[in-house]
Structures are given as structure tokens and as C-alpha cells.
Structure 1
């Protein structure tokens, strides 16, 4: 039986975040068909309760409690679909959601989520299921009050474009909530795999997806670029402990988080895989014999523009200068 323990480290006001190069061009980073196949398989492998996915989805939905309004109609995009659907379907703890649309590119994932919903005792929310791609939302403009994506958008080839479509689907003053995996995710596995490839193959090739790193200055800029107002970003790191590197890979497969790079080389050689596991164990194993894996989750919040929202004052309209403030506080010290 897998033994997993979970720690959480918060990094508020994350300023140096770098996101992957996602543009509106036709550059293909991820193989979307391969990702659908992986998610079809994950639909049959995902356990009924995954501590990591449950924690991330719950933290995402908890942000609705900070909003002094309700969201009658919600759209839930792929990713950690079953945990987030359970949270949004639960009465009195879902931001006032009355009608929920659950969408994923994987038919099997949608069907598994649908079966779990009908088997659940919590069916207070009218829920509809549809198969569609996050990169091409089949949603009318200004038709939903809330868009939620839990650990799914980091697999899109055009992340800003997908976020723009989400904004357009929102009604004015609608809320966008998303959680994506950041660049520090699986850093231990990256190091072990790189060293093993250099030792056994004399070179390296990408084996872990780039996730979110290096192009747009930070997640706040990404939200602004997509046209959201009042952007908010915070980052959590979760350390999950596994019995072995093999158990980690099995967990990634069950989550549908296996590498899906479009230019990925052939399957990792057996001796390289064994070397990766051995290096991982020797470099990162804890005193109790388990190995840690880091999952960095970036939480993003943004609103569709509305006249009732707070707006920044016009530049130059301040009535007190910073020099006056400095003199006032300086004189009191």
C-alpha cells in the first residue's frame, strides 16, 4: 500500500515566476492527442481519494469563500476533474454554484466523472458533462459566472489563448480560478533523470515536460495579458513522499501528468530508467527510506471587467508625496 505524506509550503507574493513560451502562433509544444490518450488511461487509474489532488482542488475552491458574491453558473475545465467536481457539487460550500458544466478533452475522463457524480450523495447542483478541448472552448460569450481549471491548463499549447477564451466565456464581473503546475515541480526527478542520461547515454533529452517556466515575466502579467482585472497569484509547494521512484511514476500516470512533449524521443531505455531510480534514491532519500517529490502549484485569480470593480487612480492624482510620508515616519523614529 502506498504511503504518502504531504507537507505544504506557501510562497505568497511570488514575484520571480517564469512561464513557458506559449504564444498565439501554431507552435506545438505538447502532443494533445497523446495527452488525451494519457487522460483516458488516467480515468481508470485515478484512486477515489488522492491526497494531493484533493488538497489542491480544495484550496482552489476555498478561494470562493473569500468572494462576497455567488456564482450560479460555473464551467469546470479538465485536469483534476473528479475532486474539483465533488467540491463544486457540494451544497453550501461551492460559492453558490447552481448549474455546473464539466468539460474535458478525454471521453473516458468525462464518463468517469459522470459515473462518480451519479454515484455520489451530493447532487444538489445541476451538472452537465461535455467532451471538448480547453484550447477551443465551445462556450458562448458571456454565458457563465465562474470558470475553474484545476491542474489542466499547463498542458495547452497556447496558454494565453486558452485564458482569453475563458475570459470571454465569463459574464462581466465573472471570476476565473486556475491552478497549474509550476517549473519547480518534479525537480528531483529532473535532476536524477539528467544525471542518468549523461552517464548512460552521453547526452540528455527532455523527459519531464517544461511546465511553466521562462518567458512571460510572471503569472500576474499572464492574467493581465489575457485581459483579466484584479489579478491575484500565489504559489504553494507540496512535498509528497513515495516508497520508490517507480511509485512516483505510477502516481503521475494515474494523475495523467506523464510527459506529453510533441518532440519527445523514444521510450526511456531500461538501463537509463534503472539508473534514474538509483540516483534518485541515493541523492534524495529520507531517513525513513522514502523519497520526496516536489509539486509546485501556481494559483491564479482574475475577473472579467465590470464597472463596479475597483480601479486604479489616474497617474499623478496622488495628494501626498512619498517624500512627505518618509519625512513623517522618519521624524517619529
Structure 2
């Protein structure tokens, strides 16, 4: 996964941990969420979908499109790890937004269907690992449709970019544009917050939720190489409120700010990609349920007393 110049690095942050979605905040999302099964008239139209389609098609037609696949390949392998962490046998899986099938090589024991749109067929395991949900205008509705196509006791495993993605680039552009032009416009796509994601999954009907936050850091020779790769990935900004043009001196100033604030010892600059991994199940009566509140027969105080009576070497940690 290293570029020929040897300046790229993928790393997993040691503090990244899985957090049960039940423990996440319940802050309401800003885009209108409709009751399940209906279309919300308040859904925000944030992204120019026609422009995004043109960006993706342009990237796919490049002479060497696969050289920009390093991030999706890494995320695909990490999603495969999460599939195999589940002690279940899945004979059938549906891969939504499959692209070039970055996860298929890791799931050779499954009958895997690739599709770019939701299918009417049903499956036990649904994968969404192409990092495309952040371009969806109606995310609540998309999650509801994913829940709909699952069989009972089926599981959805997905990944999308998180809110801290490319914060180095975002900050550098804002500082340079403010200094050179007296204000700044959004140049990085808005991303969903982790609290909102857990809430949306619950509203879509998923249960036994898990949201896993991870970060991947990639080192580039400079800011312009990073922007070139984002274009090659088809990940250029397509928000309606984007600024069409940045002046040349503003771009040069942003590159200088980027290097001054974030450069590594070897002269390269890091770019952080925050990834949200999500797991949600469709309800089935055979699934384990949490015990009812007040049904416990032993209090925490009694457990503490029992622990104190045990020999030192057998006390619970």
C-alpha cells in the first residue's frame, strides 16, 4: 500500500475501540427524519448527485484507477475481519455499492452478490463497505431500505467516513482563505456525527447495534498530492454550497499552512480518515433480549461482599 515514493503509511490508532450504540448520545439529527416507510419532505438536499456521478465516472476512466484504491482496500479488509468476528455462518451476502469488489477476496466462503442499487432479493448478511453513504442526501431512508431487504435475524455491516475526516486539510484551507480572502467557504464534504449514526440505525429498525470508530492516517508528499488522490478516488466535494474556485495564492498559502502545522519529521504531511464501522441486526424472536429492569436477584453491593470473601488469587478483576 506504499506509494513508489515510500511516503504513505496506513496505521490503526491504538485507542480505537468498539462502542455499543446504546451508550451513544441521542442527539436529534439536523436533517428531517420521517417515520419508517415514508419519504420525508424535510430531507436536506446537500449534495449534487449528478456532479458526484460525473466525478466517479471520471475517476473510473483514468489510465490507472486502481492506484487510488488503497483506502478502500484497507477498509474492505477491516470489514471482513468484522464479518469473521461474528460466530455465525452466512451462506449469502449482498454487497451494496461494491465498486471493484474490494471485500470479495476475503469472503470466499460466501455466495456474494454485488450491486450498486438496492435489490428486491433478501439476504442474511448485507455489506456496505465502499465508503459511499456519506454522499447520500437521505441517509435515514437509505438505512431503512437496507433494513427492509434483510431477512429476520440478518445483519448489516457497513462503513462510512466520520466527522474528523481530513480535518488537517479542512483547517488549512479555512485559515488560508480567511487570511487571503477575508472569509472561508466549505471545501470538505460535511460528515455524519457518530452520535447521529447510532440514532439513525435505531430509527431504521436495527437492534443489537455496535458502532466502531477507527482512524487511518496516510502520509503524502504534500497537500496537492492529497487533493490529486481525492480526485482520483472520486471523492472531490460535491456539496451544493461549495465554492467553485479557489485562487492560486490561496491554495499555495493553504499548502504552506498544512506543512507548517502538520508535517512529519521526514517532510511528508499526514491526512486522517476517520471511519465509522456499524453493525446492526434485524429483529428475530430467537435473538437474545436484555433482561427487564428490576429483574436482577443480586445487587452490586452483594457482589462486592462476595468478591471480598474470595481468596486473593481468585478475586475478579
Query: Which band: TM-score by shorter chain?
Result: 0.7 to 0.9
Deviation track 1:44-85 (CA, whole Å, cap 9, x = no partner) reads 34325733221111001121112233333322222x722xx1
Which residue in 1 is equivalent to 2:128?
A: 149
Which residue in 2 is equivalent to 1:202?
A: 182
Which residue in 2 is equivalent to 1:97?
A: 110
State the number of aligned residues: 291
Question: What TM-score, normalized by structure 1, do the two folds share?
Answer: 0.80
Question: What TM-score, normalized by structure 2, do the two folds share?
Answer: 0.84
Q: How far apart are 1:218 and its partner, in Å?
A: 4.9
After superposition, where does 1:75-90 map in structure 2 within 5 Å? Answer: 75-78=94-97, 81-82=99-100, 85-88=101-104, 90=105
Deviation track 1:144-167 (CA, whole Å, cap 9, x = no partner) reads 222211211111112121111001
Task: State how far apart, in whole Å, the 2-side matches of 1:177 and 1:159 are.
Answer: 15
Task: State how far apart, in whole Å, the 1-side matches of 2:152 and 2:252 are.
Answer: 53
Which residue in 1 is equivalent to 2:276?
A: 298
Deviation track 1:128-179 (CA, whole Å, cap 9, x = no partner) reads xxxx4xxxx3x22x61222211211111112121111001011111110111
Task: State how far apart, in whole Å, the 2-side matches of 1:202 and 1:193 are.
Answer: 12
**Which is worse superposed, 320-329 or 249-258?**
320-329
Which residue in 1 is equivalent to 2:85?
A: 66
Aligned with 2:10 (options 6, 24, 38) = 6
Check 1:20–1:272 CA distance in 2 against 1; reply closer, same or farther (3 A cut): farther
Q: How far apart are 1:219 and its partner, in Å?
A: 3.4
Which residue in 2 is equivalent to 1:29?
A: 46
Check 1:49–1:263 CA distance in 2 against 1; reply closer, same or farther (3 A cut): closer
Which residue in 1 is equivalent to 2:156?
A: 176
* RMSD between superposed Cα atoms in Å: 2.4
Q: How far apart are 1:205 and its partner, in Å?
A: 1.1
Task: State how far apart, in whole Å, the 1-side matches of 2:290 and 2:231 are.
Answer: 45
Task: State how far apart, in whole Å, the 2-side matches of 1:49 and 1:209 are.
Answer: 19
CA contact under 8 A between 1:19 and 1:219: conserved in structure 2?
no
Aligned with 1:245 (options 223, 232, 242) = 223
- The alignment partner of 2:280 has SS state of strand
CA contact under 8 A between 1:73 and 1:97: conserved in structure 2?
yes
Q: Which runs of 5+ in 2 are unaligned?
A: 34-41, 313-317
Task: State how far apart, in whole Å, the 1-side matches of 2:12 and 2:297 are.
Answer: 42
After superposition, where does 1:1-333 map in structure 2 within 5 Å? Answer: 1-2=4-5, 3-9=7-13, 10-14=15-19, 21-24=30-33, 25-45=42-62, 46-48=65-67, 50-78=69-97, 81-82=99-100, 85-88=101-104, 90=105, 93-94=106-107, 96-103=109-116, 132=117, 137=118, 139-140=119-120, 143-150=122-129, 151-213=131-193, 217-329=195-307
**Which is worse superposed, 245-254 or 307-316?**
307-316
Check 1:317–1:299 CA distance in 2 against 1; reply closer, same or farther (3 A cut): same
Task: State how far apart, in whole Å, the 2-side matches of 1:279 and 1:304 are.
Answer: 47
Q: Which runs of 5+ in 1 are unaligned?
A: 104-131
Check 1:20–1:51 CA distance in 2 against 1; reply closer, same or farther (3 A cut): farther
